Amino acid sequence: MSKTIPAESMKKAIAYFYLLSFCPPDRLADFKRNTAPMLKEMAERAGVKEKAYLAEALPEVCLRIAAFHQATREPDSTLVEALAISARTADKNAKTLTVFQDEMKRIATLPGRAKPENRLHRNKGCRYCTAPCLYGYFTLTSDPQVKELQDLFANERERPAGQQTPLRPVYAFAMNHLARVTGARVDIIAFPHVFNLAFCLLLLGMAKSRMALPEKQLLILQGANQEFVRRLRG
């Protein structure tokens, strides 16, 4: 671990790079502008200059991301270096961002975490997820407020029976969490990622609390997610 950057700031740096991997390449300028306050706060908390913050955090960030996806404490050094090379220039322009995002997608297919039996919350619903594990480590490091999800579901149950849907609280939770992490508009994140992340956040919420949804509802939710994604991708 970096001797300069404390653990909490390192977690935020990991979340930042994941957010960057969710950003539409043509929205990179908006992403950088809207996340500038987040980056400034992280650097100040770490006690380093803003320009040096990501460079200082990057090697450890890439090590941890690779370790998560390989499900090991000692990830392949070649894999870590390839990710670090792409991450160093990820925010330079749309082309370099695409290279970084492709590398993140490649890592997400590694069997250490991609196989159903190795999924993060495999007994809480990850076996129903049809997307590569692009979101699990982000949800772990970005500290979602699970109590809020429980409250949103409680509010939903107060609606008339014919107006209730599990989609509304799950999507609201994802949108609120992203806004809290970035301190910015959610439209700097591609909406297919928002929908898939919503499902991942729900599974984390279920794993960390006594809240549970029946299998039937989980399948309906995931089916609706993928239908939204298909429509958006046209």
pLDDT tens, 97-139? 999 999 999 998 888 777 767 766 655 667 767 666 788 889 8
In angstroms, the CA 222 to CA 130 distance is 8
- Reference 121, options 224, 16, 23, 213; nearest CA is 213
Helices first, then strands: H and E counts in the chain: 11, 0
CB 28 within 8 A of CB 35: no
What is the pLDDT at residue 120?
Answer: 66
| Count of CA atoms in the C-beta half-sphere (13 A) of 216 | 0
What is the pLDDT at residue 1?
Answer: 47
- Write down the pTM of the prediction: 0.86
Predicted confidence pLDDT, tens digits, the chain (234 residues): 455 677 888 888 999 999 999 999 999 999 999 888 888 888 888 788 877 888 889 999 999 999 999 988 899 999 999 999 999 999 999 999 999 999 999 998 888 777 767 766 655 667 767 666 788 889 888 888 888 988 998 899 899 988 888 788 888 999 999 988 887 776 788 888 888 888 888 888 877 776 766 777 777 777 776 776 676 665
H/E segment holding residue 201: helix 191-208
The tokens describing 12, both together, are 């935020």
In angstroms, the CA 98 to CA 56 distance is 22
CB 157 within 8 A of CB 150: no
In angstroms, the CA 27 to CA 14 distance is 20
What is the pLDDT at residue 94?
Answer: 97
The tokens describing 140, both together, are 């772990």
Strand, coil or helix: 152? helix
Q: What are phi and psi of 120, to 5 degrees?
A: -60, -50
What is the pLDDT at residue 155?
Answer: 93
What is the pLDDT at residue 81?
Answer: 96
What is the pLDDT at residue 41?
Answer: 85
Q: Which DSSP symbol is given to 86?
A: H
In angstroms, the CA 199 to CA 193 distance is 10
